[in-house]
């Protein structure tokens, strides 16, 4: 005879009609990976500006400095998804430890070459492994939240928390790197970045109890499918490319606009307003108990993003641009948060780290392409022409979302068939 057992809510997956950040942060084991994870992801925001300031100091050219930084960024964007896939297959610790060692060493080599006035090709060679080995701590933290909060309404709150953490990182990191490079030594930013990566990365890797398990089979050959093979992930990649176009287009166009009006110092204020809108909406988004489906929220939120970004090119005053920038920033966080939330339903647990790295890599690629395109438009046409890049990027991405939104609906997953005899058992990999 069957019996019904009523259990109390687990601390790992708290249930509440209105999930909040306090409840999220009380999740058992969360702080063990949040604190070292924050330290390990901080260098991610320091790397580009540290390279630019160091190489510009040693070569006298912003063009050369930007090219070296671009090589690092492209290498990171192209290699990050494969790092994520290896982490899903062999465990985060197995990938993170050698990764942080390679990154720290490569960063120090790049620093030495720049200080030694090495030829440009040597800087490019050193920039490739420096970017390719950037530890993907943010996606790894998101994957750990997925383990701790499986099936919990707190997943949306966790996605919002991570979005806000990313924004905070990109506010603090460049400020810290700039202060070190200008007040201490031009190489201090990159040296600090390498040191924080090594220390924070190793501490994060040491938290073995919270890392996702890896499916193994003693006798069967288990196939590890790529997250890129899931149609919904490909749709999300296009959406995140559009978000990257906003970041890149805003960076270049705001700098060009403030310079054209003779107030270059306002660039930081305007971009800070944009980032503040992003952080504010991220906090609010995570505190709301949503009743609508995430697919619907993504389409609506992205439509709002495309609409607000479409007005940037027509703004010709500081106040109007600040107001529009605030609105654009407020529309970005909901799109990012909902996209990351959709991964939980679309992607099997064994491929989620890779899926997250595809999305972060898409933002980086979109940003790199937008910086280049916006710079060309600003040089060749009128002041503010670069704002056409966020318009084009978000409108094209919105069209893709509308046409392919049905692929964002999670479908029942079939059983995995393996050769031989045995059972797949999830085990933690040291």
pLDDT of amino acid 362 = 84
pLDDT of amino acid 13 = 41
Give CA torsion, residues 89, 92, 95, 96, to 10 deg. 170
Question: Which is it for strands 214-217 and 424-427: parallel, antiparallel or unpaired?
Answer: antiparallel
pLDDT of amino acid 63 = 66
Cβ neighbours around 244 below 10 Å, total: 26
- 428 pLDDT tier (thresholds 50, 70, 90): very low
Q: Is the pLDDT of residue 16 over 50?
A: no
- Tokens in use for 355? 């899926």
pLDDT of amino acid 375 = 72
What integer best gives the mean pLDDT of the chain?
A: 77
Please state the rounded mean pLDDT for residues 56-68: 76
Which residues are CB-neighbours of 347 under 8 A, at least 6 positions away? 227, 230, 233, 355
pTM of the prediction? 0.69
Report the alpha-carbon distance of residue 37 to residue 371 in Å, rounded: 28
Residue 426, φ and ψ in degrees, nearest 5 = -75, 125
pLDDT of amino acid 289 = 66
Report the alpha-carbon distance of residue 179 to residue 173 in Å, rounded: 10
- Tokens in use for 82? 């494969």
- Comparing 255 with 161, the larger pLDDT belongs to 161
- Beta bridge partners, 424, equal 217
Domains and CATH numbers, the chain: 31-208 (1.20.1250.20), 228-409 (1.20.1250.20)
3-state secondary structure of 16: coil
Please state the rounded mean pLDDT for residues 109-134: 92
What secondary structure does DSSP assign to 264-301, as a single string?
A: TTHHHHHHHHHHHHHHHHHHHHHHS---S-HHHHHHHH
Q: Is the pLDDT of residue 3 over 60?
A: no
Of all residues in the chain, the percent with pLDDT exceeding 90 is 11
Contact 135, 100 (CB under 8 A): yes
- 418 pLDDT tier (thresholds 50, 70, 90): very low
How would you classify residue 49: left for phi > 0, otherwise alpha for psi between -120 and 50, otherwise beta?
Answer: alpha
Q: Is the pLDDT of residue 217 over 50?
A: no
The tokens 């919002």 sit on which residue? 160
């Amino acid at each position: 005879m069957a019996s019904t057992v009523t259990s109390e809510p687990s601390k790992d997956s708290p249930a509440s009609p209105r999930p909040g950040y306090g409840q999220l942060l009380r999740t058992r084991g969360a702080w063990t990976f949040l604190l070292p994870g924050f330290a390990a992801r901080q260098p991610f925001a320091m790397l580009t500006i540290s390279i630019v300031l160091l190489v510009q100091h040693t070569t006298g050219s912003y063009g050369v400095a930007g090219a070296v930084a671009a090589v690092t960024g492209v290498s990171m964007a192209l290699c990050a998804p494969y790092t994520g896939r290896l982490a899903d297959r062999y465990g985060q610790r197995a990938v993170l430890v050698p990764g942080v060692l390679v990154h720290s060493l490569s960063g120090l080599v790049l620093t030495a070459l720049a200080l030694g006035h090495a030829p440009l090709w040597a800087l490019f060679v050193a920039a490739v492994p420096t970017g390719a080995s950037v530890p993907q701590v943010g996606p790894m933290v998101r994957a750990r939240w997925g383990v701790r909060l499986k099936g919990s309404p707190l997943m949306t709150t966790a996605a919002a928390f991570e979005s806000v953490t990313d924004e905070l990182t990109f506010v603090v990191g460049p400020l810290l790197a700039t202060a070190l490079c200008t007040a201490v030594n031009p190489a201090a930013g990159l040296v600090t970045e390498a040191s924080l990566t090594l220390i924070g990365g190793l501490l994060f890797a040491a938290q073995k109890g919270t890392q996702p398990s890896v499916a193994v089979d003693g006798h069967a050959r288990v196939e590890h499918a790529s997250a890129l093979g899931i149609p919904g992930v490909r749709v999300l990649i296009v959406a995140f490319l559009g978000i990257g176009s906003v970041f890149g287009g805003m960076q270049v166009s705001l700098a060009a606009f403030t310079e054209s009006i003779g107030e270059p110092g306002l660039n930081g204020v305007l971009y800070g307003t944009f980032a503040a809108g992003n952080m504010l909406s991220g906090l609010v988004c995570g505190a709301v108990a949503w009743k609508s489906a995430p697919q619907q929220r993504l389409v609506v939120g992205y439509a709002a993003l495309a609409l607000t970004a479409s007005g940037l090119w027509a703004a010709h005053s500081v106040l109007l641009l600040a107001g529009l920038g605030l609105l654009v920033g407020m529309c970005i966080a909901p799109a990012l948060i909902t996209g990351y939330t959709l991964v939980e339903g679309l992607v099997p647990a064994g491929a989620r780290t890779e899926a997250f790295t595809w999305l972060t890599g898409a933002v980086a690629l979109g940003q790199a392409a937008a910086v280049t395109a916006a710079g060309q438009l600003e040089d060749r046409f009128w002041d503010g022409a670069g704002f056409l890049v966020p318009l084009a990027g978000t409108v094209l991405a919105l069209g893709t979302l509308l046409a392919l939104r049905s692929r964002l609906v999670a479908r029942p997953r079939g059983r995995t068939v393996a050769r031989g005899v045995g059972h797949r058992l999830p085990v933690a990999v040291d």
